[in-house]
Amino acid sequence: MAATLDTSQRILDIAEHLVQTRGFNGFSYADIAEAMKVTKASLHYHFRSKAELGARLIERYEKNFLAALSAIDEQAEDAGEKLRRYVAIYASVVRAERMCLCGMLAAEYGTLPDEMRDFMRHFFDSNERWLVGVLKEGKRAKQVTFKGTPAEAAQALVGSLEGAMMIARSYGDPKRFEAVCERLLADLGA
């Protein structure tokens, strides 16, 4: 049983890297099989279809992301610090020459299976809910400032980070991303 779980996790690890660097439509089971030195058929034992693999990949990514947000909540009291740490998660992905998994998938939205679309939107909804809570509390405590509603500010922040990742990637320049992050945080008073 443990070997099956380890194999499933290894498949997900490889798929995550491939999606973050090539996109979901930019890899096949053959790429994973080659990396693992196994047959494509053996991959189907763990994930019957690429759509199932993609859905499980998003679920795992969201679970890990939410764990990181929980750690931020435990370690940072100030809303500004929480926002800086949130942005740092994205920055670490850019420095690793990857894209946010769900940001990459959003670029391929029109070609994704419905199940994956639902999981991808859930990821963004979860992020925005967390940000809304941080922004509400931060505004109440006069730790951050923004115009509009917390939901609008959260959507703007997520959209700006995802877009900045794409542009920085196209230039191969993480500093472009970092400059956008500094501006976003400054605009929020963080």
Please report how many Cα atoms fall inside a 13 Å half-sphere around the Cα of residue 55, on the Cβ side. Answer: 13
Q: What is each CA distance from 61 to 15, 80, 105, 123, 188, in whole angstroms?
A: 11, 25, 12, 8, 27
Mean pLDDT check: name the lowest of 1-5, 93-97, 155-159, 163-167. Answer: 1-5
C-alpha distance from residue 101 to each of 18, 107, 128, 154 (Å) = 10, 10, 16, 19
Pairwise CA distance, residues 125 & 162, whole Å? 14
pLDDT at 4 over 90: no
Q: Percent of the chain, pLDDT > 90?
A: 90
Q: Please give the radius of gyration of the chain, using alpha carbons only, rounded to the nearest integer.
A: 18
**100 neighbors 107 (Cβ within 8 angstroms):** no
The pLDDT-based confidence of 190 (bands split at 50, 70, 90) is confident
Domains, the chain, ordered by start: 50-187 (1.10.357.10)
Confidence of residue 5 (pLDDT cuts 50, 70, 90): low
What integer pLDDT is reported at residue 106 of this predicted model? 95
Instruction: Tell me which residue has tokens 């690890």.
Output: 13
Model pTM score? 0.91
